[in-house]
Amino acid sequence: MAGGVVRGELRPVDLARAVGVSAQTVRDCEASGVLPPARRTGSGQRRFTGRHLAALVAYRALAPGMGVMAAGEVLRVLHARGADAALEAVEAAFAEAHRERGAVREAARALAAVAAAAGAGGREVPAVLAGVRAREAEGPLRIGGVARLVGVRASALRVWERAGLVRPVRDPRTGYRVYGPEQVREVRVVSELRRGGYGLGQIAPVMEELRASGGGEALEGALRRREEGLAVRARALAAGVARLQDYLDLLEAEGS
């Protein structure tokens, strides 16, 4: 039913079966504006048409690429403000997906830069990030000791801390910053990226991913999986836009 022309009226259950959702989902979509208003019978029952089916197909097709909330907003904007406004929302989703893929690729390049700066030739990022040198493992260091060890100014470490790039702990007795092995590793990574010309805003997502994944090898895998996921999302978004265009064509043919 979803792929052809629908003649006559459909009950909520008919529309639901056509796209594989529940009748309550159909009712909710109409109530929220994702679907245009349905005709009511004398007893208050909803009756839908091919226009509603096309709208629901478009919504369901957009959701994998945009998310359910954003897809619903596109349809609501379309019904309230017209096609141009809805397409602007879709363009914004494409732009965001492009930005995210760029950020993932930039993070991967940054990791390669860390490896290259450490003498690994860009081929052994996990080995560079997996641990710390023996000197670093001897015990906690204060800010001056870390600065001397890594070869940066203590003031730079404070700037990086304010930016959230490094996270020293505070000695509960003295209140001084204390850098353990993990914090020293973070300082080394940030230092190498700064020497490679990366700005603080570019470094921040790399450090967040490193903390979340737990190490260089896991981070590489996480970045690879994220880029693959974003590619799938981009293809899904393109497929959803095709279904949205089908709906727009139907609205134009119906003169509304």
Q: What is the mean pLDDT of residues 3-26?
A: 85
User: How far apart (Å, rounded) are the C-alpha atoms in residues 54 and 241?
Assistant: 12
* DSSP code string of 107-173: HHHHHHHHHHHTTSTTS-HHHHHS---HHHHTS-B-HHHHHHHHT--HHHHHHHHHTTS---EE-TT
In whole angstroms, give the CA distance from residue 149 to residue 187: 10
CA dihedral 211, 216, 220, 222 (to 10 degrees): -30
Q: Please tell me the predicted confidence (pLDDT) of residue 96.
A: 84
C-alpha distance across the termini of the chain, in Å: 23
Q: Are residues 147 and 221 in the same domain?
A: yes
Q: pLDDT tier at 117 (50, 70, 90 boundaries)?
A: low
Residue 5 domain-assigned (yes or no): no
Q: Over 50: is that where the pLDDT of 199 sits?
A: yes
Query: Does any domain span residue 174?
Result: yes
Mark whether 243 and 156 lie in a shared domain: no
Cβ neighbour number for residue 168 with a 10 Å cutoff = 23
Q: Is 101 helix (H, G, I), strand (E, B) or coil?
A: helix
We report the CATH number of the domain holding residue 183 as 1.10.1660.10
What average pLDDT does the chain have?
A: 82
122 and 160 share a domain?
yes
Average the pLDDT over each of 29-33, 114-118, 162-166 and give the range with the smallest value.
114-118
State the pLDDT at residue 256: 59
Residue, of 117 and 71, whose pLDDT is higher: 71
Shared domain for 143 and 244, answered yes or no, is no
**47 has pLDDT over 90:** yes
Instruction: Give the Å distances, CA to CA, from 122 to 107, 115, 126, 148, 198.
Output: 13, 5, 10, 26, 16
Least confident of 17-21, 114-118, 146-150: 114-118
User: 67 in a domain, yes or no?
Assistant: yes
Instruction: Examine residue 181 and state whether it is found in any structural domain, yes or no.
Output: yes
Q: Are residues 46 and 126 in the same domain?
A: no
Same domain, 144 and 212: yes
- Report the pLDDT value the prediction gives residue 172, as an integer from 0 to 100: 86
My answer on whether 119 and 71 are in the same domain is no
pLDDT of the residue at 25: 96
Query: What is the average pLDDT across 231-251?
Result: 93
Domain count, the chain: 2
- 170 and 195 fall within a common domain: yes
Looking at residue 68, what is its pLDDT? 93
Tell me: do 181 and 239 sit in the same domain. Answer: no
**Do 46 and 113 fall into the same domain?**
no
Above 90 in pLDDT, residue 28? Answer: yes
Note whether residue 149 is domain-resident: yes
- 157 and 211: one domain? yes
4 within domain boundaries: no
Its domain, for residue 91, covers 12-98+235-254
Share of the chain above pLDDT 70, in %: 79
pLDDT (tens digit per residue) in 135-150? 444 458 899 999 988 8
Using a cut of 0.85, tell me whether the model's pTM lies above it.
no
Q: 206 and 170 in one domain?
A: yes
Residue closest to 208 by CA, chosen among 60, 52, 103, 127: 103
pLDDT at 157: 94
Give the pLDDT score at 225. Answer: 76
Tokens 């993070």, residue? 107
pLDDT single digits (tens) 54-105? 999 999 999 999 999 999 999 999 999 999 999 998 998 888 888 778 777 7
Q: Please check whether residue 1 lies inside any domain of the structure.
A: no
Band of the pLDDT at 219, cuts 50, 70, 90?
Answer: low
Can you tell me the mean pLDDT for 153-168? 92
